[in-house]
Structure 1
Amino acid sequence: MIGKDDRILGVEQLAKFFGVTDQTIWRWCKAGKIPAFKIGAQWKIRQSDLNKIINQKLTKREQDKHLQPLF
């Protein structure tokens, strides 16, 4: 059985999630900004990889908050 984090997402799903166009997702995939792979001509990303990206961004934001000057 495939777990929730093992799902494979397509460009349209990612575009909707991030609030960007399909073309933006294609550019991110081609540039290596997200860990995507191709099945035929279609870019795909694992749900678990998307979760890692989100967690890394959230962790970085939390760290940056603590480094801001007090005044």
Structure 2
Amino acid sequence: MEDRWLSVDEIGEYLGVKRDTVYRWISERAMPAHRIGRLWKFKRGEVDDWVRNGGASEGSKTDA
């Protein structure tokens, strides 16, 4: 698969969560995201590493 920037909706679909959860993870759990103007963009590999390292786990700061 090509290595392209993903939108909030695309990364939410990829992870199986709603867009509100993605925004909460950016602000509360340091989800790897890059702001481009008004938009948040994501690299799949960075998000995969973050998930593997426990960034999305329920034991982190707040529950999703």
* TM, length-normalised to structure 1: 0.58
- Report how far residue 56 of structure 1 moved: 3.2
Aligned-residue CA RMSD (Å): 2.1
Structure 2 vs 1, CA of residues 51 and 19 (structure 1 numbering), >3 Å: closer, same or farther? Answer: closer
Name 1:12's counterpart in structure 2: 9
- Report how far residue 47 of structure 1 moved: 2.0
For the pair shown, the structure with the greater C-alpha radius of gyration is: 1
Deviation digits for residues 23-46 of structure 1 (CA, Å, limit 9, x no counterpart): 110111122431111111111111
- Report how far residue 53 of structure 1 moved: 2.3
Query: Structure 2, unaligned stretches of length 5 or more?
Result: 55-64
Identity of aligned residues (%): 28
Q: Distance in 2 between matches of 1:50 and 1:20?
A: 13
Q: Are 2:30 and 1:33 equivalent residues in the alignment?
A: yes
* Residues paired across the two proteins, number: 54
Query: Structure 1, unaligned stretches of length 5 or more?
Result: 58-71
The within-5 A match list for 1:1-71 is: 4=2, 6-57=3-54
